Structure 1
Amino acid sequence: MRRLLFSAPVTLWLALAPGCAPLFASRASPPLVASPTATGRGGAAATVDVRATAAALELLRAGGNAVDAAVAAASVLGVTDPYSCGIGGGGFMVIYLAGDKRVVTVDHRETAPLALERSRLYENGAPIAFDALVTSGLSVGVPGMALGWDEALRRHGSRPLAHVLQPAIRVAEQGFAVDPTFFEQTRHNVERFRDFSSSAALFLGPDGRPWPVGATFKNPDLARTYRLLAQGGPHVFYRGEIARALVDTVTRPPLVPGASRTVRPGVLSLEDLARYEVLVRPPVTSTYRGYTLHGMGAPSSGGLTLALTFHLLEAHAPAAMSRADFLHRYLEASRLAFADRDAFVGDPAFVSVPEAGLLSREYTAQRASALSLTRASTVAVAPGNPWAFQGGASAAPSAPSEPARPAAEDTVPDKETTHITTTDAAGNIVAYTCTIEGEGGNGMVVPGYGFLLNNELTDFDLPATVDAPHPNAPAPGKRPRSSMSPLLVFKEGAPVLALGSPGGSTIITTVGQTLVNHLDFGMPLPEALAAPRVSQRNSPTHASQAETEFLTSPEAAALTALGHGFIDAGPIGALTALRFHPDGTVTAAAEPRRRGGGSAMVVEPVK
């Protein structure tokens, strides 16, 4: 949400948490003015919303670390960007611990309920239509956000959850001015919201219409929810009163009397919430032209797909060819990497993911033979065979079935996820991508608690038949595959970049093209973020999605001559990033225009 203009000043100062000493002086902050770029020292943050970035900076200025700042920003985004993220969803956090010089990841992706047998997502022998599934209780995975925040803070933060939630409580209580982005996102969901009493009461005015631009939007129910979390920790979310309300919403959707919409109830239970676990996993680590990349492993497909893309691209020197010829190779490498992603990546607790094989340079050398250097592929390419390079692996599993309904993140435009990047004076870094899946999640606000539920289970692929094999087919307790790609980039052990983006499966290509722009084409980071984007994800029509500005570029004309086709996709992604300079300064950067523009701040600005 990316609020650049305000109808009134926004005050962001922290209240005293129960049983905790105050973090900051109780004084009003000056009006917040968003800038997409800032350079300085002492810590930095970039998000899509000026209030969220300001909350991160408040924690940093009070001596908090990068993890504290990231959670503070995420909790504020749950207020100001509720259609993209919140405690009804989940995410992936990649953390660099400067003192230990190591990278860890925190997986708090949503899970399927234990009673969600695959057959529940089929009717009359076919998958339930997406529109019917997304606005239902069946699309809701067990949220991981609240426990993910607590786990990250307990392990690697310097402040308790009770302190870190205070900025979000204040913003929820005091409200903020509705801007055009918030208004449009509400308008997109207005028909759904009108059918649910709790959603209509929060997001629509007395006339049943979106709150107008300039109106003050408050969410006292979410402020109360955050206070409950501050007082009782995640226990109240997963075993207490919030858990009971959440399960009731999923199993008995709060339809208004007379609503004509058919809303299928879900099967989420209190046991599902009580059993939920945050998983601390090692990162997926790869190299590219002397840089080391640390990303998320499965069930995220981001780290592996980016690694394979850049392994395939590394043999081609950008200085030896035109920009269009290099982009051709990048698009074809991405096409091959996505073919492997779709065929092999799923929740590693349920399927064997050939990570070592996919990362093998021997596999890259074999796979490179399928990369066309002179013409674009005119059909979707087939996956390779990384199992031959897995090392001691037995025969490959059954080939995946072609899904009758692919995962929503691969097919639904305008995915409303968000990304946060933070760093502190000690050099700790966080790249954090979080989501409730589609814009507005499943459309249902939990009554009395002020947050939307996710529709994350639409990220599963549904094969044509209920028993056909697929690595990303649904199963009880399984985490759906994700494209979220929080990424840290190092050179010779020193941090260079932290970045990530929303955008469904275009997240991977947005991060990838930004790296190409910055590392290969030498664009300064703000320019690399702003440059027009193109995304190839092994499209069955062979065409790449592209932004309107890209379609009029000389590169697009040259690529068309090489056989590439393009579809105008409108804006792609909304990236935030940090660039670490040799002199110890950091540049924080956010999207300057897409989705309304973002906000970057540093603790000690330099000119």
Structure 2
Amino acid sequence: MNVCKLLSVCFSSMLIIACTHSSTVEISQVEARDPEAATGIKHKKLVTAEHAMVVAANPYAVEAGLKVLKLGGSAFDAAIAVQMVLTLVEPQSSGIGGGAFILHWDEKHKKLTGIDGRETAPATATSELFFENGSPVSWHQAVVGGRSVGVPGLIAALELGHKKYGRLPWKSLFKSAIDLSIQGFVVSPRLASLLEKKLNPGVETLAASQAYFYPNGRALTAGQVKTNLALAASLRLIAEQGSEGFYQGQLAAQIVDAVQNSLVAPGLLSMNDLTSYQAKWREPICQTYHSYNVCGFAPPTSGGTTVLSTLKLLEPFNLADFSANSPAALHLLSQAWRLSFADRNHYLADPDFVDVPVEQLLSDEYLHARRQLINQDSDMGLAQAGLFDASAGLSHQQPSTTHISIVDQWGNAVSMTSSIEMAFGSAVMVGGFLLNNQLTDFSFAAEKSGELVANRVEANKRPRSSMAPTLVFDQHNNFKGAIGSPGGARIINYVSQTLVGLIDWRLDIQSAIDLAKITNLNGSTAIEKGTDLAAQADYFSDLGHKVVVRDLNSGLHGIWLEGSKLTGGADPRREGVAMGY
């Protein structure tokens, strides 16, 4: 049975079944569900493999990546194939109309690199981009339409990495996505549910997205087979011409026209913005945590810095002495998050525009002083940022993103988080794909309390992100694991809690991902609804936490090396799977 027929059966019964066949190892039947309607955690089986592994948000995409690996492709080759398929089957979360942060481990040369494919503001953007009548608009007014669209960086980033790390021809990596676009894919329960919930009003307002996602006025339904011939044409163009097929010529002109003539909030994006876009190499940031070396992505994402700050604040508390997910340990985690988020919100922004004090924020001396603010017996309340010479500001972020973890047969690894921002992005659709609304990750106000905001809108600037692709190494610099998640600013919570589960509590990768979630963004403490942890809400309330019990939609995808075997885990809150051989 081919993957299309397999998934037609699986999705129509509201199940995703990753069946054991020639390309998979130990993949069990798991229940697909919408996390917004969660009543508890469904478990997936730990997957093991001898040679290579792919973990991503949809079985179609994982299958495409694994096929590339079996054909002799590298981890980076597989990441391209996976992402192209996700553009088709998970359009609400990521795609070629968005951006990404990519960490790559070169096993042969023992070299870790980062590629920044974050979107940029148009060259004509000013700090008043999201102003109307002299004041900033609300976030909900800003998300839909052309104004919120940044220059997409994904294709440029993937091409940059492929030139260095690719083994198979660029063109060949688009085949699975093109074929699926033409033949049709089975609409998943999650995509159907998000459309039914109408989370993004722009999808029904703007004609192209309305026609695709709500044909005949009705939302796509789970189990329905959907083709996307426009996307097939776009992908074929990019496959043949490389990034020039996206950033120049007919497709680029269509993107600009769709943004500038959007029915809602026309934007500033120009042909010059597209042709001048460049993905950037960024030096990853690493910190030891106990006997491991944990590496994340540097600004303009805040994810790496904030995850590392959280772990270093916690290190002396020896969380290994606590039972897994014990309320006492999670209280300490919440306090570390408060301190780290206070600094994140104040200091982190695009380092090409702002002097970001990453080294100081992660220094032992600074973290020692910050750690003294943590009380094991009470919540500290709203934490204030530490003192450095930099500017302040908050931005809004919504949880619609995807994460891909891959290890190839040579031991090379990719940890890649990509996004179009809010569910269904700006809702501006062109060439069969959605454009991002990442510019809403900027702070709308340029000043706060008379101080310039670090994350304010500026021409050609990259908005701050929370994406946190992470790679972990042992004390001898040997690859140990790859992890990441979608979830907006809560990505930082999800990734750091999972790392504590892996390193401190010695859980396997699937069990660490399964942990009932708790988050704190330097405000209320959110506890995952329908879990055993929710029954402990009073414990946190008694310590002074303002507790909210709610659904938490992590989408963690990870790989962890156990001895000589690769083990993979996919978040039961979403539809992802792990496959290997």
Q: Could you state the TM-score of these two structures normalised by the residue count of structure 1?
A: 0.86
Counterpart contact for 2:401–2:418, Cα < 8 Å = yes
| In structure 1, distance between residues paired with 2:279 and 2:63 | 27
SS at match of 1:112: coil
**1:479 and 2:457 aligned:** no
**1:172 and 2:181 aligned:** yes
Which residue, 584, 587, 599 being the options, matches 2:577? 599
CA deviations on 1:237-295 (whole Å, 9 max, x unpaired) are 11111110000000001x4xxxxxxx221011000001101001110111101110111
Counterpart contact for 1:126–1:465, Cα < 8 Å = no
The alpha-carbon distance between structure 1 residues 552 and 370, as it changes in their structure 2 partners (threshold 3 A), is closer
| In structure 2, distance between residues paired with 1:450 and 1:110 | 19
CA deviations on 1:113-165 (whole Å, 9 max, x unpaired) are 01111123211221122222111211000000111111111111112321111
| In structure 1, distance between residues paired with 2:407 and 2:320 | 32
Question: Where does residue 43 of structure 1 map in the other structure?
Answer: 52
Question: Where does residue 361 of structure 1 map in the other structure?
Answer: 364
| In structure 1, distance between residues paired with 2:5 and 2:29 | 5
RMSD of aligned alpha carbons: 2.3
Which residue, 536, 539, 542 being the options, matches 1:558? 539
CA deviations on 1:398-433 (whole Å, 9 max, x unpaired) are x42xx5xx4221xx4xx1100000001100000010
| In structure 2, distance between residues paired with 1:481 and 1:191 | 24
Q: After TM superposition, give the deviation of residue 476 of structure 1 in Å.
A: 0.5
Counterpart contact for 2:527–2:534, Cα < 8 Å = no
Which residue, 201, 210, 213 being the options, matches 2:222? 213
Q: Match for 2:507: what amino acid?
A: M
Counterpart contact for 1:52–1:76, Cα < 8 Å = yes
The alpha-carbon distance between structure 1 residues 505 and 133, as it changes in their structure 2 partners (threshold 3 A), is same
Alignment of 1:178-577 (within 5 A): 178-187=187-196, 188=198, 191-206=201-216, 208-253=217-262, 255=263, 263-321=264-322, 323-377=326-380, 379-385=381-387, 387=388, 396-397=389-390, 399-400=391-392, 406-409=394-397, 412=398, 415-446=399-430, 449-463=431-445, 468-491=451-474, 492-539=476-523, 543-550=524-531, 552-553=533-534, 555-577=536-558
| In structure 1, distance between residues paired with 2:201 and 2:131 | 25
| In structure 1, distance between residues paired with 2:91 and 2:255 | 16
Unpaired runs of 5+ in structure 2?
12-21, 31-43
Question: Where does residue 569 of structure 2 map in the other structure?
Answer: 589
Say which is worse superposed, 210-219 or 525-534, in terms of deviation.
210-219
Question: Where does residue 25 of structure 1 map in the other structure?
Answer: none
| In structure 2, distance between residues paired with 1:420 and 1:63 | 19
Q: After TM superposition, give the deviation of residue 178 of structure 1 in Å.
A: 1.9
**1:160 and 2:169 aligned:** yes
| In structure 2, distance between residues paired with 1:502 and 1:4 | 28
| In structure 2, distance between residues paired with 1:167 and 1:214 | 20
Counterpart contact for 2:107–2:411, Cα < 8 Å = yes
SS at match of 1:107: strand
The alpha-carbon distance between structure 1 residues 319 and 178, as it changes in their structure 2 partners (threshold 3 A), is closer
Question: Where does residue 131 of structure 1 map in the other structure?
Answer: 140
| In structure 2, distance between residues paired with 1:268 and 1:205 | 28
| In structure 2, distance between residues paired with 1:318 and 1:468 | 38
| In structure 1, distance between residues paired with 2:265 and 2:300 | 27
Q: Match for 2:444: what amino acid?
A: L
| In structure 1, distance between residues paired with 2:368 and 2:74 | 42
Question: Where does residue 59 of structure 1 map in the other structure?
Answer: 68
CA deviations on 1:210-263 (whole Å, 9 max, x unpaired) are 12222211111001100001111110211111110000000001x4xxxxxxx2
Q: Match for 1:364: what amino acid?
A: L
Say which is worse superposed, 234-243 or 184-193, in terms of deviation.
184-193
| In structure 2, distance between residues paired with 1:575 and 1:285 | 20
| In structure 2, distance between residues paired with 1:290 and 1:97 | 21
Q: After TM superposition, give the deviation of residue 7 of structure 1 in Å.
A: 2.7
| In structure 2, distance between residues paired with 1:568 and 1:407 | 23
Say which is worse superposed, 173-182 or 329-338, in terms of deviation.
173-182
| In structure 1, distance between residues paired with 2:547 and 2:553 | 14
Q: After TM superposition, give the deviation of residue 203 of structure 1 in Å.
A: 1.5
| In structure 1, distance between residues paired with 2:290 and 2:90 | 37
SS at match of 1:325: helix
| In structure 2, distance between residues paired with 1:553 and 1:133 | 34
Q: After TM superposition, give the deviation of residue 464 of structure 1 in Å.
A: 7.1
Q: Match for 1:380: what amino acid?
A: L
Q: Match for 1:158: what amino acid?
A: R
The alpha-carbon distance between structure 1 residues 308 and 173, as it changes in their structure 2 partners (threshold 3 A), is same
| In structure 2, distance between residues paired with 1:161 and 1:349 | 30
The alpha-carbon distance between structure 1 residues 456 and 191, as it changes in their structure 2 partners (threshold 3 A), is closer
Q: After TM superposition, give the deviation of residue 554 of structure 1 in Å.
A: 5.8
The alpha-carbon distance between structure 1 residues 146 and 371, as it changes in their structure 2 partners (threshold 3 A), is same
Counterpart contact for 1:550–1:556, Cα < 8 Å = no
| In structure 2, distance between residues paired with 1:200 and 1:554 | 42
Q: After TM superposition, give the deviation of residue 567 of structure 1 in Å.
A: 1.0
SS at match of 1:600: strand
Q: Match for 1:480: what amino acid?
A: P
* Percent identical: 34
CA deviations on 1:489-544 (whole Å, 9 max, x unpaired) are 111211221000000000000001111122112222111111110001111xxx21
Q: After TM superposition, give the deviation of residue 458 of structure 1 in Å.
A: 0.4
How many residue pairs get matched? 548
| In structure 2, distance between residues paired with 1:512 and 1:29 | 31
Counterpart contact for 1:501–1:507, Cα < 8 Å = yes
Say which is worse superposed, 549-558 or 154-163, in terms of deviation.
549-558
Q: Match for 1:445: what amino acid?
A: M
Q: After TM superposition, give the deviation of residue 440 of structure 1 in Å.
A: 0.5
CA deviations on 1:49-91 (whole Å, 9 max, x unpaired) are 0010000100010110111111111110000001100110000
SS at match of 1:7: helix
Counterpart contact for 2:143–2:437, Cα < 8 Å = yes
The alpha-carbon distance between structure 1 residues 138 and 184, as it changes in their structure 2 partners (threshold 3 A), is same
Q: After TM superposition, give the deviation of residue 589 of structure 1 in Å.
A: 1.1
Q: Match for 1:460: what amino acid?
A: F
Q: After TM superposition, give the deviation of residue 480 of structure 1 in Å.
A: 0.4
Q: Could you state the TM-score of these two structures normalised by the residue count of structure 2?
A: 0.90
Q: Match for 2:527: what amino acid?
A: A
Say which is worse superposed, 345-354 or 327-336, in terms of deviation.
327-336
SS at match of 1:51: helix
Counterpart contact for 2:53–2:579, Cα < 8 Å = yes
